[in-house]
């Protein structure tokens, strides 16, 4: 079946709870991972600083993949002509790819892909880039930002009573790494509301005390430009197809957020995206049904935070390298 390319979701490397998670990709779409994927793992001591930097990793990690880059991920239901390879199991309730590719071509028997559907893993099929080829089709139409705003669907921050959305936690982990680098080690004034819920606690723990020296603003299509004018850092959406970030005027440092999470921040539920009559004013909530509320403080995903931070060149700076090395130790990540 034909599929269209979209940006690789930030939760592609996200593990969550002990639940059976839904599909990583929407049906009819695919994404490409630019980084190496698949074993065997190579320990950091064997790779070294220079070798890791050549792979886009700028801080020590336990080990690195040695597989080829360019793996293609699709929804499990979009795969045709494959069979499971016997004996390739997972850890708990499904397949986790620990034994390598577990799907073979139905006709020739060659291993071609790895299906993931174990607990805590977003369900997906990763196609081996050396075993598949792209069949060209019509050039996709790149959606403009106005259409993204009108047709995009936001992911609510709380999906069920007492639980923050795992998509938000994953997005916040990656965004926090970019935000911390953009802060240059100075305190950041946040705009309040959900933005403060997402990042305030972590920044309070990771940055030195004192008066804020930098400001963060939510910026993007459909929001007043004046709201982000003068801000040092802008929290902006990532285009769902290209993976490029929306560029605000004035060239502040940008912190990327998946567009579905960004929409949840910029246009909370019950607030219209376009001028219409009626609706609830800002700050007023429905009382029927009662709004969902989480049962604990928001925590950005620690694994994705460290993963993203290790791949930012700014982590070479001593102050940020110190934070990274400190948080690598399990006893030191109480903010997560």
Instruction: Kindly report, residue by residue over 41-54, the tens digit of the pLDDT.
Output: 899 999 999 999 99
| pLDDT tier, 271 (very low <50, low <70, confident <90, very high otherwise) | very low
How confident is the model over 246-272, as a mean pLDDT?
Answer: 87
Collapsing DSSP to helix, strand or coil, 103 comes out as strand
Tell me which DSSP letter residue 265 carries. Answer: H
* Contact between 108 and 131 (Cβ < 8 Å): no
Where do the H-state alpha helices sit in the chain? 44-54, 145-151, 166-183, 194-206, 259-266, 302-310, 318-328
Average pLDDT, whole number, for the chain?
89
Where do the H-state alpha helices sit in 23-165? 44-54, 145-151
pLDDT of residue 38: 78
pLDDT greater than 70 at residue 286: no
pLDDT digits (tens, 9 = 90+) for 101-149: 999 999 999 999 999 999 899 999 999 998 888 888 788 889 999 999 9
pLDDT digits (tens, 9 = 90+) for 152-201: 899 999 887 678 999 999 999 999 999 999 999 999 999 988 999 999 99
Question: Does the pTM of the predicted model rise above 0.95?
Answer: no
pLDDT digits (tens, 9 = 90+) for 305-330: 999 999 999 999 999 999 999 999 87
| 102: Cα separation from own chain's centroid | 26
Q: How far apart are CA 247 and CA 253, in angstroms?
A: 10
* Contact between 102 and 85 (Cβ < 8 Å): yes
| Six-digit token string for 114 | 């790895």
pLDDT greater than 50 at residue 24: yes
pLDDT of residue 307: 96
Q: How far apart are CA 335 and CA 184, in angstroms?
A: 19
């Amino acid at each position: 079946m034909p599929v269209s390319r979209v940006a690789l979701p930030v939760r592609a490397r996200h593990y969550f709870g002990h639940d059976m998670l839904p599909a990583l990709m929407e049906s009819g779409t695919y994404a490409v991972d630019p980084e190496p994927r698949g074993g065997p793992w190579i320990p950091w001591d064997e790779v070294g600083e220079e070798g890791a930097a050549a792979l886009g990793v700028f801080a020590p990690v336990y080990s690195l993949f040695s597989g080829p880059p360019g793996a293609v991920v699709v929804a499990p239901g979009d795969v045709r002509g494959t069979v499971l390879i016997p004996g390739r199991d997972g850890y708990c309730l499904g397949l986790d790819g620990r034994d390598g590719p577990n799907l073979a071509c139905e006709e020739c028997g060659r291993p071609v892909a790895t299906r993931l559907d174990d607990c805590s893993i977003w369900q997906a099929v990763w196609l081996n880039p050396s075993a598949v080829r792209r069949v060209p089709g019509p050039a996709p139409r790149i959606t403009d930002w106005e259409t993204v705003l009108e047709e995009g669907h936001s992911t609510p921050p709380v999906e069920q009573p007492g639980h923050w959305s795992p998509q938000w936690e994953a997005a916040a982990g990656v965004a926090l790494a970019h935000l911390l680098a953009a802060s240059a080690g100075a305190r950041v004034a946040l705009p309040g509301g959900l933005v403060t819920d997402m990042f305030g606690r972590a920044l309070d723990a990771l940055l030195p005390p004192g008066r804020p020296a930098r400001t963060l603003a939510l910026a993007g299509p459909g929001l007043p430009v004046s709201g982000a004018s003068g801000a040092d850092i802008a929290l902006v959406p990532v285009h769902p197809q290209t993976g490029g970030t929306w560029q605000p005027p004035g060239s502040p440092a940008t912190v990327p957020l998946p567009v579905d999470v960004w929409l949840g921040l910029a246009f909370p539920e019950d607030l219209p995206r376009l001028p219409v009559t009626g609706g609830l004013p800002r700050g007023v909530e429905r009382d029927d049904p009662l709004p969902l509320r989480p049962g604990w403080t928001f925590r950005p995903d620690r694994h994705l935070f460290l993963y993203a931070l290790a791949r930012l060149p700014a982590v070479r700076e001593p102050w940020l390298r110190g934070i990274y090395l400190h948080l690598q130790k399990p006893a030191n990540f109480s903010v997560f």
